[in-house]
């Protein structure tokens, strides 16, 4: 579900939070989600050209979770914005054994009971913590008068709230 524009608007000019407290809060979300999911989530706190931090896991071709990125076909990223209580999911596809990942739609992994349960648990947990999900469809929407930090190009919802290079 797309966050209403007024929800995005209230955080549009908020600065990214680079504090240790923010990093620890997101790390705590990842630890709790890992326990709920019984799946190990990594925490990518590098915010170089990112307004968010990534919690992530990998999926095999059969959509089951794995901790081994070399064996994985998919990389599932749970991006938490540091500009406000917003989050999104980003999926990338690759070939096992290779370190190249390419954007893929979530529909590529949804539909199996295991993945649907995983996605439902993530959604329910983050909603209970006061976070609003930004839909996959909304991520590429352009934001008027906003530019990317990296090269000054017109910015999308993904660029402003989550990541320019993800």
What lies within 8 Å, CB to CB, of 129 at 6+ separation is: 29, 85
Can you tell me the distance from the alpha carbon of 48 to that of 125, in angstroms, rounded to the nearest whole number?
27
Please tell me which residue, 99 or 42, carries the higher pLDDT value: 42
Closest among 165, 107, 102, 99 to 136, alpha carbons compared: 107
pLDDT of residue 3: 53
Per-residue pLDDT at 2 exceeds 80: no
Average pLDDT over residues 118-145: 94
Q: Do 78 and 100 form a contact (C-beta atoms < 8 A)?
A: no
Report pTM.
0.93
pLDDT of residue 52: 97
Can you tell me the distance from the alpha carbon of 87 to that of 99, in angstroms, rounded to the nearest whole number?
25
What lies within 8 Å, CB to CB, of 85 at 6+ separation is: 129, 130, 131, 132
Half-sphere exposure of 130 toward its Cβ, with a 13 Å CA cutoff?
2
Can you tell me the distance from the alpha carbon of 36 to that of 122, in angstroms, rounded to the nearest whole number?
9
Please state, rounded to an integer, the average pLDDT across all residues of the chain: 92
């Amino acid at each position: 579900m797309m966050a209403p524009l007024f929800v995005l608007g209230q955080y549009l000019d908020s600065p990214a939070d680079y504090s240790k407290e923010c990093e620890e809060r997101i790390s705590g979300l990842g630890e709790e989600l890992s326990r709920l999911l019984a799946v190990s989530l990594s925490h990518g706190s590098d915010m170089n050209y990112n307004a968010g931090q990534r919690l992530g896991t990998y999926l095999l071709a059969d959509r089951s979770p794995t901790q081994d990125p070399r064996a994985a076909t998919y990389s599932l990223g749970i991006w938490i914005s540091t500009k406000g209580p917003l989050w999104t999911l980003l999926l990338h596809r690759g070939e096992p054994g290779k370190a190249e990942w390419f954007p893929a739609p979530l529909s590529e992994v949804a539909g199996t009971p295991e993945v649907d349960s995983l996605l439902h648990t993530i959604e329910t947990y983050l909603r209970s913590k006061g976070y609003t999900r930004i839909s996959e469809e909304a991520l590429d929407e352009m934001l008027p008068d906003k530019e990317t930090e990296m090269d000054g190009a017109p910015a999308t919802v993904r660029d402003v709230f989550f990541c320019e290079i993800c």
